[in-house]
Amino acid sequence: MSKTVMEHAEASAVFNRDEPYVNWHDETLWFVRQKRDKSSKQLPEWEELREAASGIKHYVLAHLDELLISFEQKAKENGVQVHWAANAAEHNEIVLGLLKKHKIDKMVKSKSMLTEECHMNEFLSKNGIEVIDTDLGERIVQLRNEPPSHIVLPAIHLKKKDIGDLFHEHLGTDAGATDPQYLTEAARQHLRDKFLTRRAALTGVNFAVAETGGFVVSTNEGNADMGAHLADIHIACMGFEKIIPKQEHLGVFLRLLARSATGQPITTYSSHFKKPREGQEMHIVIVDNGRSTQLGRKDFRNSLKCIRCGACMNTCPVYRRSGGHSYHNAVAGPIGSILAPNLDMTKNADLPFASTLCGSCSNVCPVKIDIHEQLYKWRQVLAKEGYVPKSKEIGIRAMSTVLAAPRFYQWSGRLGRTVMRAMPFMVNNALNPWYKQRDMPEPPKESFRDWYVRNRKN
């Protein structure tokens, strides 16, 4: 939102002030990761499925133009109106134009990370349109005037007490009530009224099929369908990389998506839209917003294979201990950190550094994106093009001086160990970022090199 944006490390420090809370956040997401593991191990063909999905998406990247043209043609034949938006602003104008044309000033929306990326809600609200997010987690963060902190679990950073207080204030639930069943019921009643009274519904798109012109929207709550089937006008917004060649390929992707996301074998609803219902208007907005640029970056184009399952976030030791908001981007976590610099290198230069490069993200990715390698490569690009913060640059330069001179390296190692032993306060203080949330290790008496030299003599 319009708050001052903190860098990832800075925001993480704030997030880490409350240790029990951070532990809870960490464990909750790890639990989701474990559900994914359990579910994927039920399928002996899991690795082959990932390979197939990655291969299909590779084909998509190499044939995007033809696939999009085929999709457009089929969608038009199906009675769907197709719009193209080069960037976020054009996307937002298209949606506003459609609403104005129908004299609609209130709309329901199901989950769409693309509209988050385009900051559509803020834009529409400034233009007098009320947008109600209908996914429970999204409604929660919307009432808090916050963006989602996770692409699949938008309110994962909140405790039930936070939500109880929020609903007491906005939905009139009992003060102090925290029972999830009770709170969900209150939201169901509140949102049912919106579904029944709104004439426009906007949804995201999980997969768009070039062969048929149809598209699939997956939810567990049923909110996309409740909105779309009751509204006079259904607007579906998609980043152009959502295209897949054939309907049969949905078999591959729907088998991977929910298992990777939450460990479910499939989401409750996998809704296949192709033609508007009688008397309804259906629109598809195909959005570029930097994607065609990313397509041209050889090292980073694979990021466009992403199906937005969130598995890389759930497994990431940095995400789990820093929270989604610290990434200051619509898509957080490892995948967000390789998508964001493409959108804005100045604003997002910190994100590829928000990783230990442990590679867990790449290991769980259902479409086998080499996420940690791209994080590493972004660091080089950002440093080369001068986007790396001064503090980091000085550190890197000092490090390369030391590492390039063996004698200097030996001397500074010895000096460091002596200082840590004699004056531990020199490193155990707030000026040393390695001291945050942890004690510095006991310094060894000698380096491995010294030990080796001594013992070889014997």
Partner 1 sequence: MMSSRDSILSQIRQNKPEEVALPAVTTFASNFANTEDKFREMLAAIYTEVIVVKNLEELAQKAEALYQGIVNRATTIPALSAWADFSLNVSDPHELETVEIAIVQAEFGVAENGAVWISDQYLPHRVLPFITQNLAFVIPRNALVDNMHQAYVRLQDTLGWGCFIAGPSKTADIEQSLVIGAHGARSMVIFLLEDE
- Applying the rule CB under 8 A, the residues between 270 and 299 that interact with partner 1 are 270-277, 286, 288, 292-293, 295-296, 298
- Applying the rule CB under 8 A, the residues between 30 and 59 that interact with partner 1 are 31-32, 45, 48-49, 51-52, 55-56, 58-59
CA distances to 72, 141, 237, 299, 426 from 294, in Å: 22, 30, 19, 9, 45
Which tokens sit at 161?
A: 């007490």
Query: What is the smallest separation between the CB atom of 151 and partner 1, expressed in angstroms?
Result: 13
Does residue 354 touch partner 1 according to CB under 8 A?
Answer: no
CA distances to 58, 151, 182, 356 from 115, in Å: 25, 12, 30, 30
> By CB neighbour count within 10 A (0-12 exposed, 13-18 middle, 19+ buried), where does 268 fall?
exposed
Query: What is the smallest separation between the CB atom of 277 and partner 1, expressed in angstroms?
Result: 6
User: In this chain, which stretch among 25-33, 407-415, 417-425, 436-444 interacts with partner 1, using CB under 8 A?
Assistant: 25-33
Among 153, 201, 312, 388, binds partner 1 (CB under 8 A): 153
Among 301, 320, 368, 372, binds partner 1 (CB under 8 A): 301
Among 112, 203, 262, 326, binds partner 1 (CB under 8 A): 262
Which tokens sit at 169?
A: 């204030």
Per rule CB under 8 A, count of chain residues that contact partner 1: 90
Q: Given the complex with partner 1, which of 26 and 51 has the nearer CB atom?
A: 51
Does residue 21 touch partner 1 according to CB under 8 A?
Answer: no
Whether residue 136 contacts residue 222, with contact meaning beta carbons closer than 8 Å, is answered with no
User: In this chain, which stretch among 115-123, 244-252, 386-394, 418-426 interacts with partner 1, using CB under 8 A?
Assistant: 244-252
CA distance 156 to 25: 8
Query: What is the smallest separation between the CB atom of 379 and partner 1, expressed in angstroms?
Result: 23
Among 100, 188, 414, 421, binds partner 1 (CB under 8 A): 188
Which tokens sit at 137?
A: 């987690």
Does residue 156 touch partner 1 according to CB under 8 A?
Answer: yes
Q: Given the complex with partner 1, which of 245 and 359 has the nearer CB atom?
A: 245
Any residues with CB less than 8 A from the CB of 266 and at least 6 apart, and which?
254, 255, 258
Does residue 399 touch partner 1 according to CB under 8 A?
Answer: no
Does residue 300 touch partner 1 according to CB under 8 A?
Answer: no
Does residue 183 touch partner 1 according to CB under 8 A?
Answer: yes
- Applying the rule CB under 8 A, the residues between 104 and 143 that interact with partner 1 are 134-137, 140
CA distance 208 to 210: 6
* Half-sphere exposure (Cβ direction) of 372: Cα atoms closer than 13 Å: 17
Does residue 88 touch partner 1 according to CB under 8 A?
Answer: no
Q: Given the complex with partner 1, which of 286 and 354 has the nearer CB atom?
A: 286
**Ramachandran quadrant class, 357 (left: phi over 0; alpha: psi -120 to 50; beta: rest):** left
Does residue 225 touch partner 1 according to CB under 8 A?
Answer: yes
Say which DSSP state 241 is in: G
CA distance 71 to 86: 17
H or E, element range at 81: strand 81-85
Among 7, 22, 36, 64, binds partner 1 (CB under 8 A): 64
Query: What is the smallest separation between the CB atom of 89 and partner 1, expressed in angstroms?
Result: 11
> Computed from CA positions of residues 12, 14, 18, 19, in that sequence, does the dihedral angle turn out positive or negative?
positive
Does residue 199 touch partner 1 according to CB under 8 A?
Answer: no
